[in-house]
Amino acid sequence: MAGPDSYDSCMGTRELEGIAGPLYALPYGEFVAARTAAAKDVAAVGLTAAEQRALAAEVRALPKPSVAAWAVNMLAAHSPEILRELAGLGTSMQAAQDALDAADLRRLAQQRRQLLAGAVKAAHALAAQHGRAISAAVATEVEQTLRAATADPGAAAAVQSGCLLRTLSADGVDVVDLAGAVAVPGSQVAAAPGTGAARGTAGGGAPGARGSEPAARAAHRGEAAGGKSTEQPRLRAVGKAHVAPTPSAVERARTGLEAAEEAAAEADGDARRAAAELAEATAESTRLADEARDLRRRLDVVEAELKGARKRHELAAALAQQTARAADRQRRKEVLARERVLRLGNTPEG
């Protein structure tokens, strides 16, 4: 039977991942109850009673994700192709950065804006379909997380795992902080081919993939020092030795700056156009509101006039009825007078 260590690192992770994945794909409001039920129903072939109790405790300890992380998990569960496309785009952007291809970077930055807009729209729709509409603030966090996935292969693997717990962010300088970001660390799904994100322990990707070479060097240094490989796939470039940047690094930074400046200019243009549209819509709303007020005032006047007209109509109807009766009486008097004249004319005078 496998010992505790082998259980913790191998079987335990596989079993926990198999339970966690479906939990994080559930509607947001169902997570806690489903987690409790899953912990009670833990039963794995090959696990002892003690190991099952340990696994149940791990299931009960699975954190509930933030709403934004849950929305990203909905994409991973129901539209994984969107996340794969973003991860692939991130690899292309890194290749363009390495090649100092500013034109390609600008094109890819435009493509990323379009993909992010579509992905956030899809997240909105999926969240609503699964019982929870997301706010504008949450949508911003979703976009920030997906943008981070295009900047770092580890972040790409995290969002594709479907077990994201919190939002991610990338500043374009340091690697994305993934501490506490995934429910089952070390069990992230493999990213799309070419992204360099690996399944299992980070840094175990194919040779030549983005992010795998630094991990291999770190592992080699660990083996040389103590005979064990380290699980440190991504080394931070900030806060280490004060080494002057090489010309190629400076050129890459300048190329990245140029692309960032152009992207910022385009974003400013988008913002100005949006502001102009807002101003136009505000003016139109004001005009229509003024027109509605004028129409309401006109309606009040017309209703008052209608009320007066109805009263005049009632008075006129009453007067018409009265005069009709008076005319009828006069006609009867006229008939009686004519009959009297006829009778007197036919009577001889004595």
Of 187, 116, 183, 118, which Cα lies nearest the Cα of 145? Answer: 116
**Domain match, 145 and 29 both:** no
Q: Does residue 264 sit within a domain?
A: no
- Find the domain containing 173 and state its range: 67-232
**CA distances in angstroms from 331 to 180, 322, 340, listed in the order given:** 106, 14, 14
Q: What are phi and psi of 54, to 5 degrees?
A: -65, -40
User: Which residue, of 232, 252, 283, is where some domain finishes?
Assistant: 232
Q: Which residues contact 209 (CB under 8 A, 6 or more apart)?
A: 153, 194, 195, 196, 198
**Domain match, 50 and 72 both:** no
How many domains does the structure of the chain reveal? Answer: 2
**Domain match, 114 and 165 both:** yes
User: Which residue, of 232, 259, 293, is where some domain finishes?
Assistant: 232
Q: Does residue 83 sit within a domain?
A: yes
Q: Does residue 225 sit within a domain?
A: yes
**Domain match, 213 and 81 both:** yes
**Domain match, 18 and 155 both:** no
**What pTM value is reported for the model?**
0.56
**Domain match, 24 and 146 both:** no
Residue 117 CB: number of other CB atoms within 10 A?
A: 11
Q: Helix H segments across 45-171?
A: 49-60, 67-78, 80-98, 102-129, 136-151, 153-160
126 three-class SS? helix
Q: Does residue 227 sit within a domain?
A: yes
**Domain match, 52 and 131 both:** no
Q: Does residue 305 sit within a domain?
A: no
User: pLDDT tens string for the chain (350 positions)?
Assistant: 444 444 444 556 788 888 999 999 999 999 999 999 999 988 766 788 888 899 999 999 999 999 999 999 999 999 999 999 999 999 999 999 889 899 999 999 999 999 999 999 999 999 999 999 999 999 999 999 999 999 999 999 999 999 999 999 987 656 899 999 999 876 554 333 333 333 333 333 333 333 333 333 333 334 433 444 433 334 333 333 334 444 466 666 666 676 666 667 666 766 776 677 788 778 888 888 988 998 998 899 999 999 999 989 999 999 999 999 999 999 999 999 988 898 888 877 65
Whether 75 and 122 have beta carbons less than 8 Å apart is answered as yes
